[in-house]
Amino acid sequence: MRLTILHPEMKREIAKFAGGLMPLRLSHDEQLSLVIKTQKEAILAAQMHGQIAFYLPALLSSTVTTTSLITAFFDDDDEPLTIQTPLFGDDDFSQDIIELLKYDEADIYFFDEKNYEWMSFRTEFKDNGSCLIGDEKIYLLGYHSQTAKSIHGALKAWFGARTTEDDQRAIQAVFKDSHSPSDLFVLDATPEMNGYQGGTTFRHDSLSRTDPGYHQERDISACLLRAFEPDQVMMNPRRKDNHKEILDHLVLTKELAILVQAKDSPTTEASLTRTIQRKRLATHSQIDAAVRQINGAARYLQQETAAKLVVGGQDIEIDLGDRRVIGLAIVKELFDDEGEAYAAACAKMAALSGGGMVMDYNSFHAFTHRFASHDAFVQALEKLIAHVPRVGWISVKDVVLDGILDWVETVRADRIRDGGMP
């Protein structure tokens, strides 16, 4: 935990950052360092292989050849986990990224979505032929929200069709000297991570997870606390008559009941290296199980005038009344080419008065980070649910991206109005 110990002032900045790449210049350094905030699976894959890769493809625009960045974490050789980072010619972030990738070495710090620092390395950059050192003239485009969306699409298409030669031309970031132990154990007793109903006053965590249920339930609770009050979030509600758990989470407001059921897999080297086909089959099985449990919980809660539950050892009576009931199934990962199957899963929750939605956990984290209030969260979630039966499946990541781009446009407009640079 070198960065947050030596530079505690960075904790707040990293916590505000939803995820991705964050170049920074620490007070004592002339060179930039890099924070990568991403999912545990990506961090574990980087640790397993002792490196990550940066791809800077030459992309054709309507006027010039441009580039942007894909960071790859090889849990799978053909379809690794990735972060897409559009680069623009008129912002400091992009200039810092380009500067950093031209170094021979730099420090990289890895954080997960809960802002835990899991590892850090002095890293050697080996550029084997990226467009940063090629002969082709590359221009970074000016920022526009539609340009950002187009770049995301172009990066996705390029990476899916990349060749062995493209892999060889990537910048290999090889870990050399570790700045921290590799077997960290985190004990977190902060209220923002533990303030929900049904939990304890602390949680523990590690990079590898053999007991996924314990960790995922608490991760989702912490995400929900961004948008809801602690007394509205109930983890592991159980029936009083037989003490069976009806759901992972029940979120209860004056107008709404959100029924959340999550299914996860271990985060270990063995699980990361499973074939993509096995991961796809696991996702379908997890979705089916989560949807069945949500519908079963809804039937129980609705058939009782006052359902008698136990949450964290406390007796609670729940009367749904006229509340809209929404189902939310959360699984480890979704795949971009299986939208029809996910839409069909949503349709199985159509009997709920508010409908239902399927998300992968990392999209759920980004969703609660972007829509971090009751009204914003509910409005965005209900728009998603209404969209699927009318138009078809829509990726939660795309909705989050649209929200972020809207926010960027607002910030740029404010800067121009105040007489600054966009």
Give 170's pLDDT tier (boundaries 50, 70, 90).
Answer: very high
Domain assignment of residue 233, given as a range: 185-396
pLDDT at 344 > cutoff 90: yes
Q: Are residue 205 and residue 158 in the same domain, yes or no? A: no
Mean pLDDT across the chain: 91
Q: What average pLDDT does range 302-331 have in this prediction?
A: 93
CA–CA dist 101, 290 (Å, integer): 42
The structure tokens 């961004």 sit at 226
Q: Are residues 139 and 9 in the same domain?
A: yes
Give domain status of residue 385, yes or no. yes
Model confidence band, residue 105 (pLDDT cutoffs 50, 70, 90): very high
Residue 419 forms part of a structural domain: no
Pair 159, 43 in one domain: yes
What three-state secondary structure class fits 318?
strand
pLDDT at 265: 79
- For residue 69, which of 155, 157, 172, 167 has the smallest C-alpha distance? 155
Residue bearing the bigger pLDDT, 99 or 417: 99
Write down the pLDDT at residue 4: 85
Residue range 210-258, pLDDT digits in tens: 887 788 999 999 999 999 999 999 999 999 999 999 999 999 999 999 9
168 and 26 assigned to the same domain: yes
Residue 304 pLDDT greater than 60, yes or no: yes
pLDDT at 421 over 80: no
Instruction: Kindly state whether residues 174 and 191 are assigned to the same domain.
Output: no
Regarding whether 377 and 305 lie in a shared domain, the answer is yes
Domain annotation covers residue 402: no
Instruction: Say yes or no: 315 and 192 in one domain.
Output: yes
Q: Which contiguous run of DSSP H or E holds residue 225?
A: none
Pairing verdict, β 185-188 and 171-178? unpaired
> Does residue 407 sit within a domain?
no
Residues 307 and 220 in one domain: yes
How many other C-beta atoms can be found within 10 angstroms of the C-beta atom of residue 78?
Answer: 9
Which residue in 326, 308, 337, 310 sits closest to 378, CA to CA?
Answer: 326
DSSP three-state, residue 290: helix
* pLDDT value of residue 419: 59
Q: What is the DSSP letter of 232?
A: G
Residues 153 and 233 in one domain: no
Position 401 scores a pLDDT of 75
pTM above 0.85, yes or no: yes
> What's the confidence (pLDDT) of residue 418?
64
pLDDT of residue 204: 85
CATH number at residue 208: 3.40.91
Is residue 127 domain-shared with residue 261, that is, in the same domain?
Answer: no
Quick one: 361 and 341 in the same domain? Answer: yes
- Looking at the structure of the chain, the number of domains it has is 2
pLDDT tens string 2-32: 898 888 889 899 999 989 999 999 877 789 9
416 belongs to a structural domain: no
The pLDDT, as a whole number, for residue 311 is 95
Confidence band for 379, pLDDT divided at 50, 70 and 90? very high
d(CA 328, CA 326): 7
Domain assignment present for 420: no
Rounded-to-integer distance, Cα 60 and Cα 103, Å? 26
**Residue 136 belongs to some domain of the structure:** yes
- Name beta bridge partners: 234: 197, 250
